[in-house]
């Protein structure tokens, strides 16, 4: 008496999925309500906005590294393309002369609506990924890693080249484009009547992550996992390796590009210099902490990662005096040392990360004790 394979059963919304959906909705409502009642300068919102941005990038990286088994380190490069695309197309025409002050206002003399620019950011990143993927995806594991890392560096160099400064503004900042704060609805006096600056990144990330989830649970997703587990076997089963790898690579880059656009909106300015390899490494560490192969884990760990590095561990950077005893070691930069040691501990001893390869609904399925530990999944 074997149980029917759950994969073959027609999909039904079971209890666990419903609970997950309710939790996710609650998180959104909470984010919306908190933003209306708490002061906008609170550190919480910085963390939530940046966390949502990185959550998307981490999920996009997980799609590639965790689900398809392609160890790519080009995420920062695709974020850069996304961020620049968004910025270039949304700077208001009136501000172009002051932004492109060394290039006579630049080449492009129109600006697109934000939503279109975000989509374009993803499309451009995916297009570049397609071009890069043609030669690079033939490479295996660590060679692929180093080649994609190399491409990210090349992209960074090209965007700083002053010969194409009319587009990219050379090595100067791009700024004055719409940011998250511009989503707040203001009245005639300029006072904010409805805060949306946190909800908007949550919504963008939510839509994108939902799409990734659908992709992973589709036949494409199963093909990705088959490629990850055994390339030769997958090929023997009739999976077109080149096509599926390319699809995963381009999809991942699309969302990395959207994430880049969100990072631009978060940071208020874009400069190619800041999209370093270290940025890719940070995203990779988020994926590892969350659990390679778990979208929920990536999202959770992005928020935790950002919260730790921006907020919760801040106290380690200041000198503390407890009952007249000066705590040793605490000074600028100590936070990062502690943080990296924690990461090393996770990498070495908790290789499963927060979630392993489980998703949010899985928490409510087998053991009910775990229920209530759901947490934020945007």
Residues that bind other proteins in the complex, under the rule CB under 8 A: 65, 71, 135-136, 138-143, 145-147, 149-151, 153-154, 156-158, 160-163, 232, 276-278, 281-282, 284-285, 288, 292, 331-334, 336-337, 339-341, 343-344, 347-348, 351
Q: Terminal CA-to-CA distance of the chain, rounded, Å?
A: 40
Q: Cβ closer to other proteins: 11 or 163?
A: 163
Q: Cβ closer to other proteins: 350 or 366?
A: 350
Name the nearest CA neighbour of 360 among 11, 15, 10: 15
Q: Cβ closer to other proteins: 247 or 343?
A: 343
Smallest separation (angstroms) from other proteins to the CB of 111 = 28
Smallest separation (angstroms) from other proteins to the CB of 186 = 38
Q: Cβ closer to other proteins: 95 or 352?
A: 352
How many Å apart are CA 302 and CA 64, to the nearest integer?
Answer: 17
Q: Cβ closer to other proteins: 154 or 371?
A: 154
Smallest separation (angstroms) from other proteins to the CB of 207 = 29
Smallest separation (angstroms) from other proteins to the CB of 166 = 14
Are 258 and 118 contacting, i.e. CB atoms less than 8 angstroms apart? yes
How many Å apart are CA 253 and CA 212, to the nearest integer?
Answer: 12
How many Å apart are CA 46 and CA 193, to the nearest integer?
Answer: 20
How many Å apart are CA 318 and CA 57, to the nearest integer?
Answer: 31
Q: What is the CA radius of gyration of the chain?
A: 22
Q: Cβ closer to other proteins: 72 or 198?
A: 72
Q: Cβ closer to other proteins: 123 or 338?
A: 338
Q: How many residues does the chain have?
A: 378
89 Cβ contact partners less than 8 Å away, ≥ 6 residues apart: 108, 111, 112, 116, 117, 120
How many Å apart are CA 263 and CA 269, to the nearest integer?
Answer: 9
Smallest separation (angstroms) from other proteins to the CB of 230 = 9
The two three-digit tokens of residue 191, written as one number: 């006072």
The two three-digit tokens of residue 79, written as one number: 């974020």
Smallest separation (angstroms) from other proteins to the CB of 247 = 21
Smallest separation (angstroms) from other proteins to the CB of 255 = 21
How many Å apart are CA 301 and CA 375, to the nearest integer?
Answer: 11
């Amino acid at each position: 008496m074997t149980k029917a394979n759950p994969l073959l059963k027609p999909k039904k919304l079971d209890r666990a999925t419903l609970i997950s959906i309710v939790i996710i909705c609650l998180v959104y409502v909470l984010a919306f309500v908190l933003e209306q009642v708490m002061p906008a300068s609170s550190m919480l919102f910085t963390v939530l906005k940046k966390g949502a941005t990185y959550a998307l990038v981490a999920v996009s990286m997980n799609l590639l590294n965790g689900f398809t088994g392609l160890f790519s380190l080009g995420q920062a490069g695709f974020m850069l393309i996304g961020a620049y695309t968004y910025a270039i197309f949304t700077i208001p025409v009136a501000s172009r002369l002051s932004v492109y002050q060394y290039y006579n206002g630049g080449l492009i003399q129109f600006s697109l609506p934000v939503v279109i620019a975000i989509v374009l950011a993803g499309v451009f990143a995916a297009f570049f990924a397609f071009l890069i993927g043609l030669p690079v995806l033939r490479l295996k594991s660590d060679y692929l890693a180093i080649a994609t890392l190399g491409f990210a560096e090349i992209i960074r160099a090209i965007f700083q080249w002053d010969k194409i400064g009319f587009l990219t503004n050379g090595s100067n900042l791009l700024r004055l484009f719409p940011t998250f704060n511009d989503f707040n609805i203001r009245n005639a006096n300029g006072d904010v009547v409805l805060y949306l600056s946190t909800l908007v990144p949550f919504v963008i990330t939510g839509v994108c992550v939902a799409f990734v989830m659908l992709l992973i649970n589709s036949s494409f997703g199963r093909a990705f996992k088959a490629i990850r587990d055994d390339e030769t076997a997958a090929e023997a089963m009739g999976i077109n390796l080149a096509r599926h790898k390319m699809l995963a690579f381009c999809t991942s880059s699309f969302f990395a590009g959207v994430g880049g656009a969100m990072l631009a909106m978060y940071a208020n300015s874009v400069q190619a210099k800041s999209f370093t390899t270290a940025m890719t490494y940070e995203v990779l560490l988020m994926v590892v902490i969350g659990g390679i192969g778990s979208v929920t884990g990536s999202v959770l760990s992005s928020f935790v990662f950002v919260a730790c590095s921006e907020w919760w561990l801040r106290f380690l950077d200041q000198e503390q005096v407890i009952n007249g005893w000066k705590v040793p070691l605490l000074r600028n930069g100590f936070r990062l040392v502690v943080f990296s040691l924690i990461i090393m501990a996770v990498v070495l001893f908790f290789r499963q990360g927060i979630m392993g390869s489980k998703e949010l609904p899985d928490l409510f399925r087998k053991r009910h004790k775990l229920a209530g530990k759901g947490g934020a999944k945007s």
